[in-house]
Every structure is written in structure tokens, then in C-alpha cells.
Structure 1
Amino acid sequence: EIIPRSILMTTFEGIHYLLCALGDGSLFYFNFNIDTGYFTEKRKVTLGTQPTVLRTFRSLSTTNVFACSDRPTVIYSSNHKLVFSNVNLKEVNHMCPLNSEGYPDSLALANDGTLTIGTIDEIQKLHIRTIPLGESPRRIAYQESSQTFGVISMRMDLQDSNGLNPTRPSASTHAAMMSSSSSGKVTMGTSTMGEHSAGDEVEVHSLLIIDQHTFEVLHSHQLMPNEFATSLISARLGEDPCNYYIVGTALVHPEEAEPKQGRIVIFHFHEGKLNQIAEKEIKGAAYTLVEFNGKLLASINSTVRLFEWTTDKELRLECNYFNSIVALYLKTKGDFILVGDLMRSITLLLYKPMEGTFEEIARDCNPNWTTAVEILDDDNFLGAENSFNLFTCQKDSASTTDEDRQNLQEVGMFHLGEFVNVFRHGSLVMQHSGETSTPTQGSVLYGTVNGAVGLVTQVPQEFYSFLQDIQSRLAKVIKSVGKIEHSFWRSFHTERKTEACEGFIDGDLIESFLDLNRDKMQETVKGLQIDDGSGMKREATVDDLVKTIEELTRIH
């Protein structure tokens, strides 16, 4: 093992601990019996990658430990279990408590170049910083090379006799630099209904380039009249070393049921300037753009199209897929493409680079009105639909018949009660690679139109059955508001069918066990069987269940 760099003995909630931090950023901790002098229950977590220094401090009359490292962490106890909470600082070399009239219950934190004085929040939570734009952000992309965010925004301008005038100051009208698209290169069609009368409110879409650190709007690029931005990514294309912001748009006219024209516009932000490198006229709205094996994948109205980036810095169409109503969402993994359709649920495509074609591998035959999709792994796919439900589909690669192989089976159904409009692989907390008894795999975040953020993770079948048993017990012990049965609320419900929840565990209900009093906990656990680690079953205790559920809470 690596040499210990910091050792600390402390007491949390009446339990004595020895903490030993090593030079590689890992931490061992032991329970210490003060009467016998024995150490028990050796555990290990990884806090960072550099030597860690341990220091105690008091917050709200309780003792906590601050682990100074390249990933600073606060260690505290909850329900007699140690919790490791990340601090929103990049690096801390030393820490000492500071309690003065000017800085009560504070900490002084030092690294190589700065001294920071601050306080620690009472609980681990998301740190939210609001950046007022004065207009509505619609899409966002991060570009590491330029240390900027690209943001598609929309503001409302007022039409008067002199033209369009902003109704209030906003980010796109007060940027450090500004530019706009001209309609000279794009055939605008013969529409005469695009002109606005005096007093009309008109949507104006812009691409904002925002500094990652200061959140200053460095550049604002205004799109053409009647041009709505529908998608935005940051990507590298082909052998080109530059990172580009790529915007997909639609030209929207009131008399058209759906857009018939649009653009894919490629921008390069360098040394404070945003330059338009190329644009491609398209016949429809570019609902989604994805960087795909060095090429650009786009869903345009009912089609999926793959574009190649040439040495002349132009987009050249390589292949198409036409079998959709409206292809709204795209996700990729390797050569596989998951298409989320407005009405036809999800379809799995395979790109064949040698032939330069798409092949449809399988599709979900249920008519779900899709609102977001994600690829969980090679055979499992997650979707959300407009009746506030989640569903999962599975590809049966081992089936002996072509019909079964081409059909994505719905294996999971769950009523969330929220309209999901985005899925992303990721996590809100740093995952400590310590000992854990909860075998979760992967982490997909979702966002809803009401502003909620949630997480979906996968568990093995045996652990799923164990959690399902706990869920059914808790549903009997905890009475819901309005006496609505838990199984009824979580049933997959649409206008045409209602089916029982399947393949999902309600994490909120599982975690509510920790809020029960001891008697209710005992009632829930009574008769519950748990694996003893050797493959045999034994009766679970309250402490067993508290430990398991607390470890589940740490994944978010």
C-alpha cells in the first residue's frame, strides 16, 4: 500500500473512528472500540488522486472532518453511517476553522495561489447559480477548447414603423460583439405572410457565446427573420482539428404545416470572434444534430441524414433514412443510432460504413408519442412519452426468428408524472470507488419541463427483486396523500391503455424508508430476507436496510 500521509481519530454520533489518508488519495477508516483498543469494520474510499490531509471542524454543534486534496471532501455522519460530500472547490491544500465576529463558524481554505474564507452548507445539495439573460435559452452546448458555452436563445421584439425593436435589454442585444445572418444566400420561397404588422410581437433567435468562467456574453449572432434555431452542438468533424459550434434551424411560415426549409450553419469561435465557416440548405427543420464518427448526423423532418465534412469545408450528403413520421431525437453508440419519432416510438438503425448506408435493425411497434430517448447499453433503450410515462425496450439479439429480432420488446413501464424532455448520461455527484453492496450500473439523468432533475440507473435482476419486495412493503406502511394506491399511481397510463408498472423501482419510495421512525422501520423489515454474503439467506435487520438504502442515496 501507499504510505499514510494523515491520520485522525474522531467521534461521530457517539461512534469512535480512525481515519487514515494515503498518498494516492484513498482513505481507510475503521471503527475503534475505546475499551478493547481493537479496530473493526475496515473500509476504503477513494477521495482524490493526491495526498490527503485530514482536519476537524465543527458545524451546527457537530464534528465534521475536512479532507484537503485535489478533490476536497467533507466527511460527516448520518444515521450512524459516514457520508462523503464533495465541496465545490477545485483544490484545497490546507484548512483551519475560523470563528470571529466578522466570520462566524467559517473555514479558511488555502491552495497554492489563493486563500478562501467560507462556510459549509448544512446538507449536501446542488449548487445553483442563476445567470440572467433577459430572454429564453432553448439549447446549450459546451466547448472545452474555447472554454465557452454556446446557447441558443429567443427574445420577443416589437414590430413598429421603423422595423423590429427589442422590448427590453437582454443578452443578445448587449453582447461584447454582435453579428447577424443575411437572407442573401438562402432562397426564402414565395411566402408573403411572413411580413408583420405594426404592434406584432416577433420571435428573434440568436446564438450566444458565453465565457465559461465569467458568464460574460462574448458574441451574439442573430439569425434571419422567421428563422428558428432548433438544435445546437459543439463538434469536431473529419480530420479538421477545429472545434465548431453547429446550429440547426428551420424557416417558419404561418401557412406551412411544417417547415419546408432550414439551414445547418457551422461557426468557429476563436480569439474572441465568431466566424461563419459554412452553411447547408436543407428541406425542413434540423430537429437534432449529433457528431457521429467524425461526421454530422441530423434528423430533418421525417428523415435521418448523414453528412460528411469535406476538405473544402462543406457538408456533403452521404446517406438517408426515410421511414419516420417526424424524427425528433437521435442518440448514438458506436455504429448504432436510436431514433425517437413523434408518433412511432423508437427505432434502432445500424450505419454500415463500407456501403455508406443505414440498416433498420429493430423498432418498437407501440405508438408512443416520444419526448426523449437514450441508449442504456447495447441491448436496452430508454424512452419518455407525452403522457408522462417512462418505458424501456430490449433488443432480442439471440432470437431465432427475424420477426422477433426486428421487434424491440417493451420490458419496462413506469408513470413518472412529469413531462421528460431530455436524457443525458452523467451524474450529479462524484462516484467514490469504495466498498458498496449496491450493484448499480450506469447513470442517466433526466430533465422535465417543470424543472425537475432525476436519475435512472440499472440494477441486476436479484437486487431488483429485493428492492421490489421492499417497495411493496413500504407501499403498505406509508399512506399516500389522498389515499392513492402506489401501484395505481405508477401504472403506465395513456389515452388508449393502462398497464401495471413493470421493470422499474420507485427510488423516492425506497428512500422514504430513511424518514420512518424506528417502529415503522421494524414493521417494514419484518420477515425480509437478505443475502448474507455467502449465497445463503438470513433475516434482514433495520441496520441492514438502512445501510443498503443509504448507499443507494449516494449515487445522486
Structure 2
Amino acid sequence: MCVLKSGFLFAASEFGNHALYQFQAIGEDPDVEASSATLMETEEGFQPVFFQPRGLKNLVRIDQVESLMPIMDMKIFNLFDEETPQIFTLCGRGPRSSLRILRPGLAVSEMAVSQLPGVPSAVWTVKKNASDEFDAYIVVSFTNATLVLSIGETVEEVSDSGFLDTTPSLAVSLIGDDSLMQVHPNGIRHIREDGRINEWRTPGKRTIVKVGSNRLQVVIALSGGELIYFEVDMTGQLMEVEKHEMSGDVACLDIAPVPEGRQRSRFLAVGTYDNIIRILSLDPDDCMQILSVQSVSSIPVQASMGGEDGADHPASLFLNAGLQSGVLFRTVVDMVTGQLSDSRSRFLGLRAPKLFSIAVRGRRAMLCLSSRPWLGYIHQGHFLLTPLSYETLEYAASFSSDQCAEGVVAVAGDALRIFTIERLGETFNETAIPLRYTPRKFVIQPKRKLLVIVESDQGAYTAEEREAAKKECFEAADKEDPLSDEQYGYPKAESDKWVSCIRVLDPRSATTTCLLELQDSEAAFSVCTVNFHDKEHGALLAVGTAKGLQFWPKKTLAAGFIHIYKFVDEGRSLELLHKTQVEGVPVALCQFQGRLLAGIGSTLRLYDLGKKRLLKKCENKLFPNTITSIQAYRDRIYVGDIQESFHFCKYRRDENQLYIFADDSVPRWLTASQHVDFDTMAGADKFGNIYFARLPQDVSDEIEEDPTGGKIKWEQGKLNGAPNKVEEIVQFHVGDVVSSVQKASLIPGGGECIIYGTMMGSLGALLPFNSRDDVDFFSHLEMHLRQDHPPLCGRDHMAYRSSYFPVKDVIDGDLCEQFPTLPIDVQKKIADELDRTPGEILKKLEEVRNKIV
């Protein structure tokens, strides 16, 4: 806990979200309420104890920091048919546990949705005067009309605004200090503050196709490629200044904002259908002269120019272009010469991005609408481009009113939506679904889009017992209902008493479709789905449980069981087929070739499905301690032991025998494992290390070619170990116990990476390099940062990452990401030694980050 001088208290929670409280008072009232109770052993045995704390009087919670601590299990899967997969994590302990669904992107809170009389093509917001705080009108354009809505207590249609409503609009904006401008296909309508309207008509039968404007300048493109440039003169009138013929039709154009203290902006960006963007000058001396040319990979559909305060390039102008191929192209425009440099591109989606300038936290930001919306904004000195967790939008504008200071108004389908963007700087936004007990493991049923979660707690009462005891206790004491279990926990029971449940959950509607409480102190620890050979039942659910398990003074249990459940009601409910008693705790279960593999203590056993129970087919008792994980691929089985790392096994069906053909020479206390490829496993140990164990290629080939599959060597025995050893090819100290590891790709078309979740609630990713050049570049960058930017606490970075084993073949991305925070002179020094510019290094860092999320 931390008390701040400003009257706040920050409480960092060990399990669940952290909270920030404000002091209301310091508890000086004389009437202090107290509630106490003593532990009672009665003839009926152990009785639960309840006491009643009062609500908060001196503190009020004003905010909370969402925390995933601890992550018990994690899976990455696209259950919601979105563009990117979701991360499902089991978090917390006891009554504070939850399933959290993480989506890459920023959370959006919707303020209002209203239906429109047709399908709109565009939307704008305008103020009546440059000094106004809030917007006055929302202007919506349809294919043959324009609708004007005034913003007040409510949003309602107006007809006396001066806008032409019988034509579609191409642009609506404030021009000068207090005039409104509407550009439509046949001309420009200039509405003065006093209601006078000036109309400029297009020459001949030509129509306006594109328009770019800022407060004092307007450029329109006519069909055929003619540009006409207007400026606002001293009297507030729009004056035609220059015409210019382009070689072909104009695809997009935009004018940079007017710099502070200047009369006009110098730069105009024009994109044409021959995949070229040109920067033209608007200075009276060289008006419409081409300053620079940039070729792009496909047709530029929209351009946007703007400066971004606090960006990596201070006081610079950026040109952003949305290309037909769904790529956002971004480059720096030199403020003096107009030359383009340091271009970057990012694929945003399957539709050409449309770009809109909006305000976020008082700064300019860019909203990009592709097949999903993205926000480009500056956060802590970095430019971030992050998706929004919201549906596809067609057109948007910034929105500011009394009720909503910084919002966005957008159109999608036939609806007008107003929303705000929350919690900037976050990579994921989360949905939390509360659970009853500490979650242990879960499986996903991809076809039915459901999750099956097993939860268990030691020394607690079942929900029915708890409710009955609570009722009895509070009736006797004649008190009102006590405060929530989430805040104060469940009453304690004897240590050999367990409560447990199996939950089938629909994550889309956040509803539990089936909840089975296990009886008689039985607790579930493992779960898997399995398709047995006989297809009579389809996919079944296997759950490993233990009865009366105690860890102290020594580990004892009454019995272990494997339950087999059948999915009924389209997978939304479970029905017990049978349960099979086993001699230990089945900590690991896995489907293997139409049968079930179970790790029971130090025994690996293969089961088939019988009518009344599971039937033993084969077993291997030669594992050192306790099997904690089993994964299978083709005919290989990868078994993780609690304290002896990985064992690679094979099953020979003709001899019905399981044997170990390779193991690890390093004792590892495994906490997580993931199969990476045929010869490789990724694992994590309880001291906070991640490592990859790979079977040498020659050994792997020999085993595959050997008709006995390495069995002869195994039978000869080798110092109580396997005849072959795996090599540890990657070592890295994370510094936090990794509880789950998953191989996945978080972006469409991105490469697969290893995502891990830790006990302290953090998520990390390990991305494989594809080229030697990248390895060379990043290892040198890391080396320079180790010397020029040592850690705050004075520890040697190399020694930290090699806490238990020397760091091997992993580059610390967190350290490399600190490059932009270095002083400019240090950045230049490092860049010179790498034969790069600081901009190139930042671009490289951004490229790698974009491959992951």
C-alpha cells in the first residue's frame, strides 16, 4: 500500500485488480463498529465463521488498474470470427477469480446510436466560430441530399443553417474565423456569419471530385484533373488564386494545417491514379510547382497531412496516405524544402483506409477506417497505431459537446454513432467474466464456440453449505445481508475439504450454460476433450480429479478419478458417462490416436473407452517424479515432468508399448510447456526461465528411420536415463514465473510467435527472426544499450537475463524498445556505430512490433 500526500491511497492487490482510493475522513468518529467471531468446533464438526465488516466510510474507490494477476491458464483462439484472435486467460483466486477475454485494441464506450432515414456516405461536425468550445452542427451527406443536425441538449434536425440540402456534400468546414463552407459536386457554398451566402459554380459541365482544405485555404479537383486553388482574403471572402492541370484524374488531395503565426500553409499533397503522390507548393512565388514526388505500391485513395506534437520527429509534418491495397503509408515532409523521407507502411485491413483528424487528450490524432477502425496517436513520446475494438465504420469526424468533450461521430450502415475512446496506451482491452472458485485449467470447443473450465479451492465450503450457514448465522444475529464475497473472501473449512466445479461457458454472451459442482471433497485439476475410436459419442470431456487431497504434513489423498462426460444439448451441457478410480492425481490428460493418455503420478498410461469405466491399454512407470504435462504430435508424445524437464516418448501399436527415447540432461521445475515443432518443445521453469529443448536432427532422423524407433537403445538402459539427450537451444530469464505458453499469431497474415502469460499477470511474446541481418542488427543494438543505458537499479543487464543459465539466442526487446527514450546525442552515437540513422532504428523497432500485435 502507498499513501500519497495528495490524499490518495494506492493498494496493489496480490490477486485481482489494483485500486486507487481517496481519503474522505480519518476515522475520528467515536462510534466505532466492531464485529468479531471465534472458530467453533462443535459435535457436528467444524462450523463456518462469519463476521460482518461495515462498508467503507473513510475511503472511496475512485479508480482501478486492471490486473491479470495471476494467470492460471491461457489460450489464444479466434472464437468470435473477428479479424484477430482473442486471448482467453483464467485469472485470480477464490471469489476474486475471473475469465478475462483480451482483444488487441483500445476500448470504446458508446454514447449514442440513432437510425438515419437512409444510408449516409459521409459526416462532418462544424463550429460556428473558431473560438467556440463545442461543435454547433453535425452535417450528414446522403447520395442525393444533405441533412443538418444542431447539437444542443439533444441532437435535432434544422433547416435554417444556410447549407444546401438538395445535393450531396463533399466537404463541410469552418473557413476563416466565423464562416461555414459546403463543397458539393457543382460548386462551393460560402455561408457568412450574418447569413449572407456566396456561391461559386464549376465551369461548364465539370464536377468537383475531390477537395482539400484548412482554415484559410481550399483546393478542389475537377473531373479531368484540373486543380483550382482558393484563399480567404482579409475581408473573409474566398478568392480564386491559381489553376493547374494535372496529367490525369486526381485520386486524393489534402492541405497541411496552417502553421502558427503564418497566413497560409505551403504544402499540398495530390495523389493520382498512376500510384504517385506529389507535394505541390502553395507559396505565391512558386505556386503549384512540384516540390517532391513519391511513388507508392497502389492507388492512394486518401491523403492527410498533419503535425504531431511530441512525436519522434519534433516540429515535423507527416503525410499519411491510405492506399487501395489496405496499407497506410506514412512519411515525413521536410518543413523547409517539402522533400519526403523516412517512409513507413502498415497493413491495416482489407479495405482502403480513410483518414480523419480527431482530438484525443487535447492533441491531434488520426482515425483510420479500414475493415476495422485504427487510431494513430502520440503516447509518452511514441507514435502508436492501435486498432479500436469496434465495428467497421464508413466515415467519421471529431465531436465535442457539453456532455462529451472529446468524442467521435461516425456512420456505419444507416446509423449515426457517437463514442469516446478510453484508456489510451493499452495494447489490449478486456472483458471479465466472474468465476466461483480458483480456475485451474480450461479447454476450448472451437466448433461450438464454448469453453469448459475446471475450478477448485482448498479449505472452502460448497455454495449450498455456505448459503445455509450464512442464513443461519445472520438470522441468529438478526443482521442484514453481509458484504460481498469478492471483497471479503469465503469462510474457511478444514484443509482436507475441497470444493470444485466444472463450468461450460459461452464467452460471446458471458453466460454459464452448465455448472456441475463435484461432491465429497473431490477437486478437478485437469481437463481435455477426446475423440475415442468408436464414434458413438463424438467428442467427450475427460476431467482428472482427486478426493481428500492434502499437501501437509505430507502429501496424501483418498483417491484419484478420471470422469468422462458426454456433451448434450449441442455441447451446452454435460452428462456423466462414468468415472474411473486411479491411484494418484491425474494432473495431465491428452488425446492420442483415438485414446486417452493420462499422467498419474509418475505413470504415463493409455486408456480406451469402456462401457462402465476406462480400460487400461498400456503404461510406462519410468518417469522420475510427477507428470505435469502431456502433448502429442503424430506418433510422438512429449511428457513434462514436474522437476525433470521434457521426455520424448513413442508408442508402438504393434507391440503395445510406450517408451522414452530422449530426455533433458538439465533438471527443470516445469511450470508451462508448448509443442513448437516435431523436434522442439518450449518450456518454462518455476525460477522464471523460458527455454526451448530440441532433439538434434541426426538423432531425430535415426529414430524415424530405425525400424524399432529407438527401442533397442532404450532397452539397453543408460544410467537410468534415456539413450538420447535433447539440446537446450534457447535460454532467457523472464524474471517472473511463466504459467502458460502458447504458439499463436495475433495479427492476420503475421508470423507465429510464442506468447506467454505469467503469475504476475503480464503477457510477453517471443518472435523468431527470419534473417541473419535482423539478428545481427538487434544483437548489436542490445549490446550498445547495455553499455549506454544500464538498468535503473544498477544490475548488469546480461547477468540478470542469465540469472540461472547463460542467456542464449534471445534478444531483449524490452531493452531495445527503450532506444527512443535515450537523449538525442546518445541515440545518434549508437546509430552511427550501427551505420544507421536514429530514424532507421526506430523504423526497424516498429516493424518488429507490428509483426506481433
**Which aligned pairs between 1:371-520 and structure 2 lie closer than 5 A?**
371-398=671-698, 406-427=724-745, 429-431=746-748, 442-460=752-770, 462-493=773-804, 499-520=805-826
Question: For the residues of structure 2 that align with 1:167 and 1:316, how far apart are their CA atoms?
Answer: 42
- 1:327 Cα deviation after fit: 1.0
Q: What SS does structure 2 have at the residue aligned with 1:481?
A: coil
Amino acid at match of 1:92: L
Alignment partner of 1:149 is 2:451: yes
**Aligned residue in 2 for 1:553:** 849
**Aligned residue in 2 for 1:17:** 319
- 1:236 Cα deviation after fit: 4.7
Contact 1:307/1:319, CA 8 A, preserved across alignment: yes
**Structure showing greater Rg:** 2
Question: For the residues of structure 1 that align with 2:343 and 2:831, how far apart are their CA atoms?
Answer: 26
**Which aligned pairs between 1:152-163 and structure 2 lie closer than 5 A?**
152-155=454-457
Write out per-residue CA displacement over residues 137-185 of structure 1, whole angstroms, 9 at most, x where no aligned residue. Answer: 222333334433222223567679x97767779xxxxxxxxxxxxxxxx
Alignment partner of 1:321 is 2:620: yes
Question: For the residues of structure 2 that align with 1:290 and 1:113, how far apart are their CA atoms?
Answer: 49
Question: For the residues of structure 2 that align with 1:349 and 1:114, how far apart are their CA atoms?
Answer: 59
Q: 2:829 aligns with which of 519, 523, 535?
A: 523
Deviates further, 280-289 or 32-41:
32-41
**Which aligned pairs between 1:66-465 and structure 2 lie closer than 5 A?**
66-76=367-377, 83-112=384-413, 116-121=417-422, 122-155=424-457, 200=494, 202-234=497-529, 236-238=531-533, 239=535, 242-254=538-550, 257=555, 259=557, 260-270=559-569, 272-308=572-608, 315-324=614-623, 325-352=625-652, 357-398=657-698, 406-427=724-745, 429-431=746-748, 442-460=752-770, 462-465=773-776
Question: For the residues of structure 2 that align with 1:50 and 1:332, how far apart are their CA atoms?
Answer: 40
Deviates further, 12-21 or 379-388:
12-21
- 1:127 Cα deviation after fit: 1.0
Amino acid at match of 1:478: H
Question: For the residues of structure 2 that align with 1:109 and 1:292, how far apart are their CA atoms?
Answer: 51
The structure-2 alpha-carbon separation of the partners of 1:134 and 1:489, relative to structure 1 and needing over 3 Å to count, comes to same
Write out per-residue CA displacement over residues 232-282 of structure 1, whole angstroms, 9 at most, x where no aligned residue. Answer: 234555546844443221223449735552223324152554322443333
Contact 2:368/2:376, CA 8 A, preserved across alignment: yes
Q: What SS does structure 1 have at the residue aligned with 2:725?
A: coil
Alignment partner of 1:540 is 2:841: no
Question: For the residues of structure 2 that align with 1:444 and 1:305, how far apart are their CA atoms?
Answer: 29
Question: For the residues of structure 1 that align with 2:654 and 2:396, how far apart are their CA atoms?
Answer: 58
Contact 1:159/1:200, CA 8 A, preserved across alignment: no
- 1:222 Cα deviation after fit: 1.0
- 1:364 Cα deviation after fit: 0.6
The structure-2 alpha-carbon separation of the partners of 1:80 and 1:16, relative to structure 1 and needing over 3 Å to count, comes to farther
Contact 2:563/2:576, CA 8 A, preserved across alignment: no
Deviates further, 503-512 or 519-528:
519-528
**Aligned residue in 1 for 2:128:** none
Contact 2:386/2:427, CA 8 A, preserved across alignment: no
Question: For the residues of structure 2 that align with 1:132 and 1:209, how far apart are their CA atoms?
Answer: 13
- 1:51 Cα deviation after fit: 5.8
Gaps of 5+ in 2: 1-274, 276-296, 309-315, 472-491, 703-712
CA RMSD of aligned residues (A): 3.8
- 1:372 Cα deviation after fit: 1.6
The structure-2 alpha-carbon separation of the partners of 1:92 and 1:522, relative to structure 1 and needing over 3 Å to count, comes to same
The structure-2 alpha-carbon separation of the partners of 1:456 and 1:357, relative to structure 1 and needing over 3 Å to count, comes to farther
Q: What SS does structure 2 have at the residue aligned with 1:474?
A: helix
Question: For the residues of structure 1 that align with 2:443 and 2:638, how far apart are their CA atoms?
Answer: 20
Write out per-residue CA displacement over residues 15-68 of structure 1, whole angstroms, 9 at most, x where no aligned residue. Answer: 34252342xx62252648588888777765432335654443232344433333
Q: What SS does structure 1 have at the residue aligned with 2:777?
A: helix
Matched positions, count: 501
Contact 1:28/1:42, CA 8 A, preserved across alignment: no
TM-score where L is the length of structure 2? 0.52
The structure-2 alpha-carbon separation of the partners of 1:339 and 1:73, relative to structure 1 and needing over 3 Å to count, comes to same
Write out per-residue CA displacement over residues 106-141 of structure 1, whole angstroms, 9 at most, x where no aligned residue. Answer: 123444486543222422422123333353222233
Gaps of 5+ in 1: 170-197, 434-440, 494-498, 529-538
